Structures are given as structure tokens and as C-alpha cells.
Chain A
Amino acid sequence: MALDKWIAVVFIVISVVYGYSAFTYPLLPFELNMSFLPNTMPMVLSVLGILFALIIILTPKPKADPEGEALGDISVSRLHEYKVGQALALIGAMILYALALRPIGFIGATTLFLVGTGWILGERKLHIMIPVALVGTGLIWFLVEQALGIFLRPLPWFLS
């Protein structure tokens, strides 16, 4: 089964769960007499969602779209050619950055993130990468803090 059909199956499950939680949504007593309720549209949506997902599962696969090829679109059939490991490592780095941003502070976390992701991508010239990352981080911090007026804690928790 193709990937899009699997996604449609997952979506049916989501729609059923969503529809169930809409159906059992705790209504207030006075709401019961009204014609439009907070769960009216969600219930309609879950039915539509199941319907469209079923259509995707049941329709046969169309022939390859030449326009998509021209765009150099990404496709699953070439997955083995892709650098999946790098992409997963970058996603991991982003999650770490999200968790570290507050405790380590903006400047430390961002510099580490930029250098780390550069390293994952194969950059080994640290004597260039680290200064570039530091300048970039400092510049962005200055812009966000001064020009936009949004506070970003620059330093780790024990220093500020």
C-alpha cells in the first residue's frame, strides 16, 4: 500500500477519535436547547474527514504527474538516496534546542545549535563556523531585543 493510503488510514483513526470526543463533549444544561452547539461543526468535520479519507483509500493510484517531476519534487521511491540520517539528527538537534533554550540562555543555546547542525551537515572548519555562529547569534539577539523589544534571556540560568 502506498504511503498516501497509510496516511489516510491514520487520518480515519484521528477522525474517529476526534468525532468521539466531539460527541461526548460535556455540554452545559442550557446549551441543550440551542440549535448550534460547540460540537456541531466538529461532528460534521469528523464525518467529512472519514469520507474523504475513504475516497483516497478506495481510488486507484493515478498515473505519475509530469508536472511534479518537472518541479523536482521529493518522492518516497528515492528515499534510499536521501540523507535520512542527517535529517533525523537535525530534528533531534531542534528538539534539544527547544528544551535547552530557556535553561542555557539564548546566546549559548543558539551558538551550540548552529555549530552542532553545521557539524551534522559535514562542516569541519570550526575556526570559521564558530565565529560565524557567534556573530549571527549576537546580531539576531540584538535585533530581537532592541528592534523588536522582545526579551530573550541571553545567559544561562546561573548567571542571570
Chain B
Amino acid sequence: MLEGILLGLQTALSVQNLLLVVAGCLIGTLIGMLPGLGPMSIIAIMIPVAINIGDPAAALILLAGVYYGAIFGGSTSSILINAPGVAGTVATSFDGYPMARQGKAGKALTIAAISSFAGGTVGAILLMGFAPALSSFALLFHSAEYFALMVVGLSAIAAFAGTGKVAKALMMTVIGLMLATVGESALFNAPRFTMGLQDLQSGFSFVTLAMALFALPEALYLVLDPKRGSTGGASAAIKDLRVTREELRKIAPVVGRQSIQGFLIGVMPGAGATIASFLGYAVERNIAKGADQEEFGKGSIKGLAAPETANNAACTGSFVPLLTLGIPGSGTTAILLGALIALNVNPGPRLMIDNPSVFWAVIISMYIGNIVLLVLNLPLIPYIARLLTVPRNYLIPFILFFTMIGAYIGQNNATELLLLVGLGVCATILRFADFPLPPLLIGFILGGMMENNFARAVNLTDGVSFMYERPMTLTLLVIGLLLIFLPAYRRRRARDLQKGVAPGD
């Protein structure tokens, strides 16, 4: 492992990569602060740039920096104007915004930055332990297990979609898998479902789909609902970034607990930063006693530290399944996976062996990213926050333009732009009907791999007998099925409990 760390240091500490981390964090913070633009949109917009860098380690370092920066930027807008740019920072606004209203905006930002730093750093240390162990285990996997693992990943994402949304999430996953079949078919490479269009022969472009699913609907929402991006009161001066030693002592246990809990939640596919931050907030509120508990929701520093630590630790945790199994656990890591594949790197258990520099450089750059956020971004926040006053008449045209140009330079094809607009309109309608979109993108990315592994397994055993003959495959498939039925069972039990039926009936 030491060897790996040294290799990672060597790669991550090159001048170019250091600049990329800094640039990534800054860009992420800048854009992440704008209401309505979450890490998924920003990373989607940055992908063409990352792909053009060419070096996979450098590209991933840039994107990971953007990811951290975006989460931090999201916290900033949650605290300052109560407009979370990211779902993962909604819990931050519960206590962060009251603090800002009390004139303690500077202190709130510092606590947010320190907690994020601690969460991210602890997460990175845990990642160093977890990932190699998991990937040496994953080397035992055959294509049958890979297929089963992807089934588990997809059903876990659907299962965590929220109450009453599991069927919707599953439907979105199926749409994603269907979109993935457009283009050339698995194993045979003959065109399939292209409707005779030559532009579809190579399938849908992943960048176009990511932009259409995340960046475009958000921009359209800003247009539809002007209140959504309202930036009232952003001009309030931010001063006094200092935190007392006593306050640090107060939040230390919270940070410790939440960085581990957040990381573990992040590792689970489907449960990302959002669930981690809400759960972290709820747990800490229950643990707190007396006056401390009363203060939650009214500007408690513990209530601010908990979700901030948890969401950063969860972001780091979500890299575990991505780097070791090649299975993204969240929409953001799905986009990163797509970018890696475009750069000819196959994330999975062999990543550590085939591209050790990529693997370790990413981990090391996570530390560096965290330090950059703390040392560089925090002092700049009062200046960066002025960006919140950019009028929407200027903001929205540029967001739309960036999405379009991102799709265009990937393919250099005007048809791609029409596809982008069409898919974007569909995605907006789906969002209106409360369909979760990340399962669609994850289905799309995993679709090709899933079909290839399935095909290989079927050909090897000449049938589907591998599903019940290989114990590991069977176990994984059963877990996948259970995950789908779990939410329905829990809801039913909750209903029964309400009716007064004893559990166990």
C-alpha cells in the first residue's frame, strides 16, 4: 500500500495535476454556488474538458476537485441565501441559514469548511483501507457475478429512491437500459434500434444524455420558476471567519461520528450524500441533550457540522464501489464512470493493477482537494459570494449555451444538439412527474456492460443455469430482488403499525 501511496503522491503532486485540483475546486465552488446547479450538472459540463486532457489520472483529479468544490459551493449558498444548489446540502441550510441571519455567516462558513475538510479527509483514509480489500475480493468475480452485481447495483439505486418511487425508479432504469441498446449490439456489433439513422449507429452519446438529464432541466426550472433562484439578501457582508476553541471542541465528536457514518452510507450504492446528510442531522439531533437539542434548527453549530461532515464523507465513500467494482452508486459517480470509459480506463477490480497511478492519484488528490478547499476557498468566499448577484437574464443564457456547446464539441455534430434539446424536454417532463433521473443514467451506463457480461455468462454455460448453479451469483441476485421488495414491505409494516397490528403478523 505504501508503494501505492508514493506512486499516487508522485502523480498527484505534479505541477499540472496540482493546478488541476485547484482549478477544479475553484470552478466547482463557483458554479456549485449558483442555485440550481448541482455537482451532476457541473461535472456533466466539465466532461468535454476532462476528456480533452487525455490523461485519465489528470481528468479524474480535475473532476473529483470539481465534485468537492460543487458540494462546498452548495453549502455556501445554503448558508448565505437558504437556496441549496445541491440536494445534499439541504440539511446544511436547517442550521446554517439561521446562523447567517444572526450575523454569524462567516463563522457558519468556517464551520462548514472545517467539517467538510474533516469528513473528506477521514473518508479518504477509510477509502484507502476499503478499496484495496474490496478489489482483491472482487478479482474472484466472473462475468456471471458481474452481471449479478450490476443487478444488485441497479436495484439498490431503485430501492433508495424514496417511498412510493421504487416502481418509478425501476421504470427509469429500464429506459436507461433500453437507451443503452441503441447502436451496435453486444457481441455481434450489428446496428440495432437505430431506426435507420446513421447518427445513432454509435449509440447515444453519454455526455449528451448527462447534459439533457441534469443540466438542461435545471436551467429550464430556473426559467419557469424565477423564485427558485432568487438571491435576496446575498449582499450581506461576510466578516469574522474565526471559530473559538470551545466551539471546535463542541463539534469534534459530531464530526468524528458523522465522518464514519457518512462514509459507510456513501459506500452503499444508491444512498449518497443526500441521505447521509439528512440521516447525520437526525442522528445528531437525537443524540444531543437538553439545551443543545433545543438549539437544532435555530442556528446550532452541531446541526451545521453534522450534515456537512456526512455529505463530504459520503462523497468520498461513493468512490469505493466506483473504483473497485466499476459500479457507480450515485448519479455523480455514474458521470465520472462515463468519463473514465471515454478515456479508455475500465474501472473495476483490475484498476488497481492495470492503472495504479490513476487509482492512487485520485485518492491522494482527494486530500489535496480538501486542503485546497480549506486554505484557498475559504478566504476567497466573501469575493466568490458576489457571484450570487449575477442577474438571471445573464446567467440562464450562459448555462444553456454551456450545455449545448458541451454536447456539440463531444461529437462535432449538429444532430447531437437537436437530440440534446429533445431529451432535455423529455427529462423536464419526467421531473415534473416526480420520476427520479439518476437511475436512468446509471442504467444507461451499466447497460452495455451488463449485457456483455450476461452474454458471456450465457454463452459459457449455454443457458441461464449459471443463475442458480453459482452460489455467489445466486446470492447476489437474491439480494437484488430483496432490495426491490424491501421498501414495499417496510411501507406495509408502517401502515399495519398505524392500524394497530402487531409487528410479526
Contacts and interface: CB of A to CB of B under 8 A. Distances in A.
Interface of A: 2-4, 6-8, 11, 14-15, 18, 21-22, 25, 28, 31, 34-36, 38-42, 45-46, 48-49, 52-53, 55-56, 59, 62, 65, 67-68, 70-76, 78, 81-84, 86-87, 90-91, 94-95, 97-99, 101-102, 110, 113-114, 117-118, 121-123, 129, 132-133, 136, 140, 144, 148-152
Given A101-B408, A122-B393, A52 B167 contact: yes
Given A62-B163, A118-B397, A7 B435 contact: yes
B417 A71 contact: no
Contacts of B417: 94, 97-98, 101
Interface string B456-495: 0011001100000000000000000000000000000000
A73 B217 CA distance: 12
Nearest to B192: A38
- What is the size category of the interface that chain B forms with chain A? 35 or more
Nearest to A144: B409
Nearest to A81: B225
A59 B409 contact: no
A36 B164 CA distance: 35
Given A36-B458, A83-B223, A113-B397, A148 B171 contact: no
A38 B187 contact: yes
A74 B432 contact: yes
Contact of B432 (A28, A67, A75, A123): A75
Contacts of A144: 405, 409
Nearest to B408: A101
19 contacts: A3-B429, A3-B432, A31-B188, A42-B178, A42-B181, A45-B178, A49-B178, A56-B171, A65-B162, A68-B434, A70-B90, A71-B87, A74-B228, A94-B400, A94-B404, A94-B421, A118-B394, A121-B223, A148-B409
B431 interface: yes
A114 B397 contact: yes
A76 B224 CA distance: 11
Contacts of B412: 150-151
B397 A49 contact: no
B1 interface: no
B174 A45 contact: yes
Given A7-B435, A113-B397, A114-B398, A97 B454 contact: no
B164 A62 contact: yes
Given A53-B171, A86-B223, A97-B417, 7 more contacts: A48-B170, A62-B163, A87-B223, A102-B414, A121-B223, A123-B394, A129-B393
B434 A117 contact: no
Contact of A52 (B52, B170, B187, B226): B170
B232 to A, nearest CB: 14
Given A76-B433, A150-B412, A42 B193 contact: yes
B439 to A, nearest CB: 11
Nearest to B94: A70
B455 interface: yes
Contacts of A78: 225
B190 interface: yes
B298 interface: no
B499 to A, nearest CB: 16
Contact of B433 (A4, A49, A98, A114): A4
A95 B167 contact: no
